[in-house]
């Protein structure tokens, strides 16, 4: 049985048809005009749309066009007035699955719908077989040559085709959403919707209504029924972003959908069954939240069936240059500005920086640099990394150091400079030394005498015995 949308401004005909199809076991939605139908298409997926050709506002052809654009696999059957065969022919040319002339017998419509559903089943089968052949993984837009990214994509390939729940973890901007999308697009659900919900963006009640929908009158302001994201994702994938930011009540409800694949709309009593695959992402430490009692342990295990850890960019520096090249090419098109690449010094700066905002920060940095660039190459001065002003060698340095009126020990300025350089280089001493134009040995010495603390997990290199440092 399938999900069917009936669009007709003729109320009694629409209701009669909807009733008959619901009796035959289909899940039926109605739209009283073309605009409403188009709105519903933006909200969710239908196997078949039965639409009147001529309606006030948007016509059946508009509905057809929207369906072709949003859900190319949806079959559209148009109903035409008796005698308007030429429009019917035009509809078929525009990609309609079939048409029916009014008036028609319900049985005739049922046969056409059954055919459309059969075709969809066959398409699913073909998709599945093609996936099983393992040749249509399209990872073209996921850039990087590091081993770390390679292993992530290896897991994506393995889990995509199953219905397994996957938890993607990682710092901000590491590509969690991109990976969730890749899992969906390489799954057997690829032709169905990929629906995303950001759990951190909404407070409890709004989030639950977003996820599960609500009935008219469920709460003040609920002036009409609303279909939730779970229903929209039926047959497809629901991506729960920032899943660590849900209230206990919402957590309990999500757990139920994971276990039973069913829920009720807010204020509703009818239990709705869905077939949804769930993917989740978070930059929080869920295990620690479980220990602290703020995240349900049972939900954690349900979500974390397969865990994918997105490594931060500073731990896969091999990806920096390919990503930079990719973004340069992309923004050249978008900004209509020819940039061929970057100067070696600028490229080196990218390698030394520690990228707290990861790939999103790199993407923004490249876009900004391209806007600033005067020539066809990005220069070090065009890159404004981590809000630190670019070092302008040769200047008077007045903007680099601000000396307070009561004065400051030179040692203190040195310390600030060293820590800044170390942070920029992800605490790699050799790189920090290069930034400050001193030798690694001098760097090492200054770290010791100025007593600079390294963050947890990073250690200062041992002070090597060597010739006296007096000449430093």
Ligand X SMILES: Nc1ncnc2c1ncn2[C@@H]1O[C@H](COP(=O)(O)OP(=O)(O)OP(=O)(O)O)[C@@H](O)[C@H]1O
**Cβ nearer to Mg ion, comparing 30 with 177:** 177
How many other CB atoms are found less than 10 A from the CB of residue 284?
15
Residue 322: CB minimum distance to ligand X, A: 8
Q: Please spell the DSSP secondary structure of 375-418, one letter per residue.
A: SSEE-GGG--GGGPPPP-TTS--TTT----TT---HHHHHHHHH
Place of tokens 């897991």: 155
Q: Which of 2, 60, 144, 380 binds ligand X (CB under 6 A)?
A: 144
**Cβ nearer to Mg ion, comparing 109 with 199:** 199
Q: Does position 142 bind ligand X by CB under 6 A?
A: yes
Q: Copy the structure tokens of residue 46.
A: 């239908």
| Cis-peptide, bond into residue 320, ω within 30° of zero | no
* Helix axes 358-372 and 320-335, enclosed angle (nearest 10): 50
330-356 as b/e, with b when 16 or more CB fall inside 10 Å? ebeeeeeeebeebbeebbebbebbbbe
Q: Does position 414 bind Mg ion by CB under 5 A?
A: no
Residue 137: CB minimum distance to ligand X, A: 15
Residue 362: CB minimum distance to ligand X, A: 8
Which partner in ligand X, Mg ion, none is near 244 (CB below 5 to 8 A by kind)? none
Cα–Cα distance for residue pair 305/216, rounded to 1 Å? 36
Cα–Cα distance for residue pair 447/441, rounded to 1 Å? 10
Size of the site for Mg ion (CB under 5 A): 1
Q: For 229-305, where are the E strands, in sequence order?
A: 237-241, 262-264, 271-273, 277-282
Pick the closest to residue 163 from 317, 315, 277 (CA basis): 277
Which partner in ligand X, Mg ion, none is near 143 (CB below 5 to 8 A by kind)? ligand X
Nearest residue to ligand X, by Cβ distance, number only: 175
Residue 153: CB minimum distance to ligand X, A: 9
Three-state helix/strand/coil letters over 430-448: HHHHHHCCCCHHHHHHHHH
Size of the site for ligand X (CB under 6 A): 16
**Cβ nearer to ligand X, comparing 177 with 215:** 177
Nearest residue to Mg ion, by Cβ distance, number only: 177
Which partner in ligand X, Mg ion, none is near 142 (CB below 5 to 8 A by kind)? ligand X
Q: Does position 363 bind ligand X by CB under 6 A?
A: yes
Place of tokens 């199809």: 21
Q: Does position 143 bind ligand X by CB under 6 A?
A: yes
Q: Does position 328 bind ligand X by CB under 6 A?
A: no
The pattern of x and - marking residues 173 through 212 that bind Mg ion according to CB under 5 A reads: ----x-----------------------------------
How many other CB atoms are found less than 10 A from the CB of residue 141?
11
**Cβ nearer to ligand X, comparing 127 with 171:** 171
The pattern of x and - marking residues 161 through 200 that bind ligand X according to CB under 6 A reads: ---------x-xxxxxxx----------------------
Q: Which residues bind Mg ion (CB under 5 A)?
A: 177
Site residues (vs ligand X, CB under 6 A): 142-144, 170, 172-178, 283, 323, 359-360, 363
């Amino acid at each position: 049985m399938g999900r069917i949308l009936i669009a007709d401004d003729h109320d009694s005909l629409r209701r009669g048809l909807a009733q008959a199809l619901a009796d035959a076991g289909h899940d039926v939605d109605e739209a009283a005009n073309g605009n409403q139908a188009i709105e519903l298409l933006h909200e969710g997926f239908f196997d078949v749309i039965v639409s009147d050709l001529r309606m006030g506002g948007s016509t059946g052809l508009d509905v057809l066009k929207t369906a072709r654009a949003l859900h190319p696999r949806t079959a559209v059957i148009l109903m035409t007035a008796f005698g308007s065969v030429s429009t019917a022919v035009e509809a078929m040319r525009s990609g309609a699955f079939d048409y029916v002339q009014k008036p028609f017998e319900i049985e005739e419509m049922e046969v056409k719908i059954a055919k459309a559903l059969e075709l969809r089943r066959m398409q699913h089968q073909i998709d599945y077989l093609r996936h099983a052949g393992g040749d249509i993984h399209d990872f073209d837009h996921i850039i990087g040559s590091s081993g770390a990214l390679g292993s992530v994509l290896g897991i994506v390939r393995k889990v995509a085709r199953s219905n397994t729940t996957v938890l993607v973890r990682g710092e901000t901007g590491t590509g969690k959403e991109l990976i969730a999308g890749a899992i969906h697009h390489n799954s057997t659900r690829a032709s169905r919707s990929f629906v995303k919900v950001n759990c951190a963006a909404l407070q409890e009640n709004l989030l639950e209504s977003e996820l599960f929908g609500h009935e008219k009158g469920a709460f003040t302001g609920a002036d009409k029924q609303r279909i939730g994201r779970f229903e929209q994702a039926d047959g497809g994938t629901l991506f729960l972003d920032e899943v660590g930011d849900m209230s206990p009540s919402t957590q309990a409800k999500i757990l139920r959908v994971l276990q039973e694949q069913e829920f009720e709309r807010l204020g509703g009593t009818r239990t709705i069954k869905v077939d949804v695959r769930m993917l989740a992402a978070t930059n929080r430490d869920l295990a620690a939240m479980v220990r602290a009692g703020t995240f349900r342990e049972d939900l954690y295990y349900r979500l974390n069936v397969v865990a994918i850890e997105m490594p931060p960019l500073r731990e896969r520096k091999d990806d920096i240059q390919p990503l930079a090249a990719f973004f340069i090419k992309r923004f050249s098109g978008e900004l209509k500005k020819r940039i061929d690449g970057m100067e070696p010094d600028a490229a080196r700066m990218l390698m030394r920086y520690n990228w707290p905002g990861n790939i999103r920060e790199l993407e923004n940095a490249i876009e900004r640099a391209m806007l600033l660039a005067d020539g066809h190459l990005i220069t070090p001065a065009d890159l404004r990394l981590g809000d630190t002003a670019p070092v302008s060698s040769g200047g008077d340095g007045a903007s680099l150091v601000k000396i307070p009126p009561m004065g400051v020990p030179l040692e203190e300025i040195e310390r600030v400079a060293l820590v800044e350089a170390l942070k920029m280089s992800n605490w790699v001493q050799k790189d920090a030394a290069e930034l400050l134009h001193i030798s690694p040995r001098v760097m090492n010495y200054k770290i010791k005498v100025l007593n600079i603390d390294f963050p947890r997990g990073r250690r200062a290199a041992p002070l090597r015995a060597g010739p006296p440092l007096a000449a430093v």
